[in-house]
Every structure is written in structure tokens, then in C-alpha cells.
Copies of this chain bind each other. A is one copy, B any other.
């Protein structure tokens, strides 16, 4: 499981630094409605920020990885929940300086707007392709992309069903743009074409 491997990878190299708490896969860090105020930073692993719609659907508004700061809210309560996707280490930030807060907020805003653009575009294939490219940018390797989250999470992030996620992946595969090395690893075979598709 990725939980183990991810955690072990860090733990074996030495204990996680003090102030970092570990959250197992699929566990909640804070819930919708919890008191807000604290800021968090991802140390390792992947976090998803979720929000339930009134009709019962779930919208994931972001996936966060090492270095990302999260937890700000406009009100006194969290209107999103934060959950560990694959086992993650979280650091509590001591009250950050205003400048740091602004930077983190701007980044958060930029990410949200980026997702907004993605959802505004209606093609499932393009959404999926862009998602892969986005992940790729945040990961070291230019060809291999690791999917820490499962299809269901991707679906709720991209605003579609997990069946459509599956079909979109198949489509990109059939086009020769990617290869599915395993269920959690995608290989980008033709990046220029993929970028052209997603612009």
C-alpha cells in the first residue's frame, strides 16, 4: 500500500521532524464545520480538500502535496474538510507573517482559478489530460506520473463520474498519448501532443 511505502520512506530515513503529525490514508484532518484558525503545511503525502454539495455530491477543490499550505477560511468555521489521501505528514504552522499568508493565499487562489477554468471546459478528455499534466509538473519525473488518489477522487475533482475518468484515460491511451503502466502510474508517451490537446 502507498500508505506504508510513503511513510516508511520517510520514517526509515529518520523519525519525522517534531511537529509533524502523520495521518493514515483516508482519514480526516479537519471536518467541514470545525473551528478554523490554524494553518497547516503538507510535509509529505497527498491531501484532498473536499466540500459537500447540498445534493450529496462531493467536490474536491484541490489536491495538495509537499510544501503546500492550507487551512485558511473566510469565517470562523471550515467550510471544507481536509483529508489524507495516501498517508501524509502535516505540520502545524505557527502564526505566519502577513506576507507569508498573502503568498499562500495568492497561490491558493491561483490554483482554484485554474481548476475553475478546467471545469468551465466541458470535454472530459481535456480535463483528464490537463490533470495529468498538472500532476506531472509537481513531480520530479517528466514522463512518469504517479496517481496517489483513486479514480473516484479524480472524478470528484474534475466534476465527472469515475466511469468517465476511466473512459477518458482509455481515450488518451488509444490516442497514443499516454500508457497505463499500472493502476497508479501513468507514462506520458507524447507530451507535445498532450499539451496541444489541452493547450
Listed in ascending order, the chain A residues whose CB lies under 8 Å from chain B are 51, 53-55, 57, 59, 61, 72-74, 79-80, 98-99, 101-102, 105-110, 112-113, 115-117, 119-122, 126, 159, 198-199
State whether B105 touches A102 (Cβ < 8 A): yes
- Known interface pairs A98-B102, A102-B98, A102-B102; A57-B109 also in contact (CB < 8 Å): no
User: Which partner residue on chain B sits nearest A110 by CB separation?
Assistant: B74
9 new A-B contacts at CB < 8 Å, known A74-B109, A98-B102, A115-B116: A51-B113, A53-B120, A57-B120, A79-B110, A80-B113, A102-B102, A105-B105, A109-B109, A116-B119
Q: A122 to chain B: which residues have CB within 8 Å?
A: 159
Main secondary structure, interface of A, reads: helix
A116 to B50, CA, bound (A): 12
Residue of B nearest to A60 (CB): B120
Q: Shortest Cβ distance from A180 into chain B, in angstroms?
A: 26
A69 CB, min distance to chain B CBs, angstroms: 13
Closest beta carbon of chain B to A10's beta carbon, Å: 29
Q: Are A61 and B199 closer than 8 Å at their CB atoms? A: no
- Please, how many angstroms separate the alpha-carbon atoms of A15 and B121 in the complex? 43
Q: A53-B121, A199-B54 are in contact. Are A116 and B112 (CB under 8 A)?
A: yes
Distance between Cα atoms of A51 and B185 in the complex (Å)? 32
